[in-house]
């Protein structure tokens, strides 16, 4: 990954440039990075605060030989790579909040936005967008996010050179991606579960038109979340809204 890198001081969104490049035929592993994003975006049409020089705002173009329904597993695999980078480079223990958030101590430090273009039953390309808060001080976190967001600088009380982190992150993503394409998600599942936020804890699930208490048990080979309800019946969640604080 990163044989071909686009580094821009300012973009609306690295996702948008990555889509454009992918449609023009950019090769697998092409990486787009911006110092600042004016219209950084998150999941569910949320905006992603992307202040100049404060974080890693990066999109990676992948061309996996997979069926479209497997794209979400790439989000899970990328999360494992971020956890490994945080452990080896920053010496912090991150946790994965299913499906796409990275937490440190109950606050979000990074998010993953996976977007895909498919034709018939094959993925044309996937764009893995990663936003990692690096050098924001507590005051620089927007007011409405104070309670829920953090940065590496806040957690470790030191500033970080983004280039080194980016290099290692790309290396980790490449290795976990290759493992995944060769052996499937089952082969990285253990690492995912070990890093999972609230594993074994009670959460509240909104799915199947109901709201219910559930205990987080694990993840399936296909990337679905496994929970257990109060009657100890196992349920499998492909998408659900979760209240992580209650249960
Ligand atoms: C989320 O938590 O909702 C996902 C956030 C993803 C943010 C990254 S920053 C780089 C890339 N470009 C964007 O506009 N979004 C992603």
The tokens of 23 are what?
Answer: 């449609």
Of 159, 161, 160, 133, the closest CA to residue 145 belongs to 133
43 is in an annotated binding site: yes
Q: How far does residue 234's CA lie from ligand 1's centre (Å)? A: 32
What is the rounded distance in angstroms from the CA atom of residue 123 to the CA atom of residue 119?
A: 6
Which atom of ligand 1 lies at the shortest distance from residue 37's CA?
A: 14
Are 75 and 112 in the same domain? Answer: yes
Residue 244: exposure state from Cβ atoms within 10 A (0-12, 13-18, ≥19): middle
246 is in an annotated binding site: no
Is the CB of 37 inside a 6 Å radius of any atom of ligand 1? yes
Which atom of ligand 1 lies at the shortest distance from residue 111's CA?
A: 2
Is the CB of 114 inside a 6 Å radius of any atom of ligand 1? no
Per-chain mean pLDDT for the chain? 95
> H helices within the chain, ranges in order?
14-23, 71-85, 152-156, 162-183, 189-195
What is the rounded distance in angstroms from the CA atom of residue 120 to the CA atom of residue 129?
A: 24
Residue 120 confidence class, pLDDT cut points 50, 70, 90 = confident
Are 188 and 75 in the same domain? Answer: yes
Instruction: Residue 214: give its domain's CATH number.
Output: 2.30.30.100
Q: What does the angle CA 104 – CA 106 – CA 112 come to, to the nearest 5 degrees?
A: 60
Which atom of ligand 1 lies at the shortest distance from residue 130's CA?
A: 8
Are 93 and 207 in the same domain? Answer: no
| C-beta of residue 155 within 8 angstroms of C-beta of residue 104 | yes
Q: How far does residue 52's CA lie from ligand 1's centre (Å)? A: 14
Are 121 and 207 in the same domain? Answer: no
pLDDT tens-digit map of 132-165: 999 999 999 999 999 999 999 999 999 999 999 9
Domain containing 219: what range? 202-243
Are 237 and 139 in the same domain? Answer: no
Is the CB of 40 inside a 6 Å radius of any atom of ligand 1? yes
| C-beta of residue 144 within 8 angstroms of C-beta of residue 80 | no
pLDDT tens-digit map of 56-109: 999 999 999 999 999 999 999 999 999 999 999 999 999 999 999 999 999 999
Decide the pairing of beta strands 55-62 and 31-37.
antiparallel
pLDDT tens-digit map of 37-55: 999 999 988 999 999 999 9
Are 119 and 233 in the same domain? Answer: no
Q: What is the ipTM score, two decimals?
A: 0.99
Is the CB of 58 inside a 6 Å radius of any atom of ligand 1? yes
């Amino acid at each position: 990954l990163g044989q071909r890198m686009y580094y821009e001081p300012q973009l609306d969104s690295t996702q948008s440039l990555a889509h454009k490049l992918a449609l023009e035929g950019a090769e697998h592993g092409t990486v787009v990075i911006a110092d600042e994003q004016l219209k950084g975006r998150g999941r569910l049409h949320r905006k992603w605060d992307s202040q100049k020089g404060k974080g890693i705002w990066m999109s990676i173009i992948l061309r996996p030989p997979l069926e479209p329904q497997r794209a979400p597993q790439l989000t899970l695999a990328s999360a494992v790579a971020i956890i490994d980078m945080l452990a080896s480079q920053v010496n912090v223990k991150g946790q994965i909040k299913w499906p796409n958030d990275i937490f440190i101590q109950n606050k979000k430090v990074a998010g993953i936005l996976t977007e895909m273009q498919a034709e018939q039953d094959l993925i044309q390309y996937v764009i893995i967008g990663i936003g990692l808060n690096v050098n924001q001080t507590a005051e620089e976190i927007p007011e409405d996010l104070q309670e829920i967001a953090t940065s590496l600088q806040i957690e470790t009380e030191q500033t970080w050179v983004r280039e080194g982190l980016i290099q290692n992150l790309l290396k980790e993503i490449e290795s976990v991606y290759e493992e995944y394409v060769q052996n499937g998600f089952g082969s990285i599942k253990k690492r995912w579960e070990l890093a999972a936020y609230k594993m074994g804890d009670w959460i509240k699930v909104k799915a199947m038109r109901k709201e219910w208490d559930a205990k987080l048990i694990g993840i399936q080979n296909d990337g679905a979340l496994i929970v257990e309800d109060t009657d100890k019946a196992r349920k499998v969640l492909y998408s659900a809204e979760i209240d992580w604080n209650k249960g």
